[in-house]
Amino acid sequence: MTKRSCLSVILAAGEGTRMKSALPKVLHQIAGLPMVAHVVKAAQAAGADGLALVIGHGAEEMRKAAQKFAPGTECYVQEKRLGTAHAVLAARDGIAKGYDDILVMFGDTPLIDPAALAVARGKLAEGAAVVVIGFRPPSPTGYGRLIEKNGRLVAIREEKDCSEDEKKIGFCNAGMMAVAGKHALDLLDTVGNQNAKGEFYLTDIVEIAGARGLEVVATEASFESALGINNRAELAEAEGIWQQRRRREAMLSGVTLIAPETVYFSHDTEIGADTVVEPNVWFGPGVRIASGAKIHAFSHIEGATVASNCDIGPFARLRPGADLKVKAKVGNFCEVKQATIEEGAKVNHLTYIGDARVGAGANIGAGTITCNYDGYSKFFTDIGEGAFIGSNSSLVAPVTIGKGGYIASGSVITESVPEDALAFGRARQRTLPGKGKELRERFASAAAAKKKAAG
């Protein structure tokens, strides 16, 4: 079968005033990705060769965003908002290129299932001129009804125009359509604006096509797939649905989620089988977890790579550039950023490792920090294989701790340490008998005087 070409026209020109935001509605995120980017991914998964993004409010911001999540997307500006058919025609130049299929989608439906789009395209391949994607909401109130007769779609009726019998129809318009490319512009150009609002409605092409004897049919998507986002509450609802889907997918692929409802994934999280994730773990964008890792409770991971059989947390934070090799450990209340923790190395507790390498088998004691920033520039710390860094040590970069090096607890290390050397970097302790009591009495007297003076 010859592959059919497809253009997806994504309508994203709405202002989204109900979001109460300066950010264009479709750039609000689900799982760390703008909702319109989810729509783009669905279109691509359904086989779209070209992407036409119709923008309006926040046009420049939308252009810049589109180049990040969908390079090569053609952006078209709808200067005036005169209805959905008018919006689609903003992409006239793209439609005129001669694609077999035209998918019309909305940038605020981030949960659309690519399979539903593929089914609609399949109907075009079978000879339909227009395919309307419908759904069955829990309550049809407020939605346009799909009026079918003998298996054909004859009209989309807005609720205010429905008869009492038509109001009982539960099959509603999801807004998305697939249109045969050879008919698309002719149908769209025929749409008029003789209605109360004086707008050009995309839904009118159903009756226009039917009147010409062209085949018009409806297909069905799930309610969740057709869910449109208009405000922050609906955004949160969509996030919840997306997360629920992703958690189930992870568990079915061999990942253990002890309390699934408390684990949050990003759109691009990769997590291997036999990984165990304890409650209240957050995966930000850019995370890759290999098989057999254990992620303890209350950990936050973003932009990090974790190899097999690593042990993370609890209360660990892996920031962008963290790279943990096989069997590495980053324990409780530790933060790692732009650093490599080599095989079997341990960063157990209360530690910051940034712009550094921790060699294989090295041990980093509690309270250790790499002092990587001087207020202007960042510097690198290299900790050799098998090194031991005593508790409460500060390693002032740039500095190298050689293989097998040993740093005494409480040290401030400002110079490199050779292999197998022992380094101290602390002042000699002095003990002054009785001075502790004297100091407390002096401080107490000063505090009492201050209190008295204050009245």
- Mean pLDDT estimate for the chain: 94
Catalytic residue among 28, 86, 267, 349: 349
Phi, psi of 261 (to 5 degrees): -65, -10
303-320 average pLDDT score: 98
Torsion, CA 301, CA 306, CA 310, CA 313, rounded to 10? -10
The pLDDT tens digits of the residues spanning 46-88 come to: 999 999 999 987 788 888 888 888 888 899 999 888 999 999 9
304-310 average pLDDT score: 98
Q: Which of 202-211, 251-260, 432-441 has the lowest mean pLDDT?
A: 432-441
pLDDT reading at 14 higher than 90:
no
Q: What letter would DSSP give residue 437?
A: H
Concerning whether 349 is annotated as a catalytic residue, the answer is yes
Assign domain 247-423 to a CATH class. mainly beta
Give the DSSP letter string of 250-278. Answer: HHHTT-EESSGGG-B--TT-EE-TT-EE-
Nearest to 109 by CA among 244, 265, 222, 252: 222
Q: Residue 217: pLDDT band by 50, 70, 90 thresholds? A: very high
Return d(Cα 196, Cα 220) in angstroms, integer.
29
- 295-300, Cβ contacts within 8 angstroms, sequence gap of 24 or more: 296/332
The angle at the Cα of 105, spanning 103 to 108, to the nearest 5 degrees, equals: 165
The pLDDT tens digits of the residues spanning 339-394 come to: 999 999 999 999 999 999 999 999 999 999 999 999 999 999 999 999 999 999 99
pLDDT reading at 315 higher than 90:
yes
pLDDT value at residue 142: 87
318-341 average pLDDT score: 98
pLDDT value at residue 70: 84
Return d(Cα 97, Cα 265) in angstroms, integer.
39
Pinpoint the residues of the chain covered by CATH 2.160.10.10.
247-423
Those residues whose C-beta lies under 8 Å from the C-beta of residue 3, and which sit 6 or more positions away, are: none
Q: Residue 94: pLDDT band by 50, 70, 90 thresholds? A: very high
pLDDT value at residue 68: 86
Tokens 């509603």 — which residue? 172
152-160 average pLDDT score: 89
101-122 average pLDDT score: 96
Return d(Cα 262, Cα 427) in angstroms, integer.
47
Tokens 């939605």 — which residue? 143
Q: pTM of this prediction?
A: 0.89
Helix residue spans in 145-214 (DSSP H): 164-167, 181-190, 204-211
Q: Residue 15: pLDDT band by 50, 70, 90 thresholds? A: confident
Residue type, 397: A
Assign domain 6-220 to a CATH class. alpha beta
CB 394 within 8 A of CB 409: no
Pinpoint the residues of the chain covered by CATH 3.90.550.10.
6-220
pLDDT value at residue 62: 84
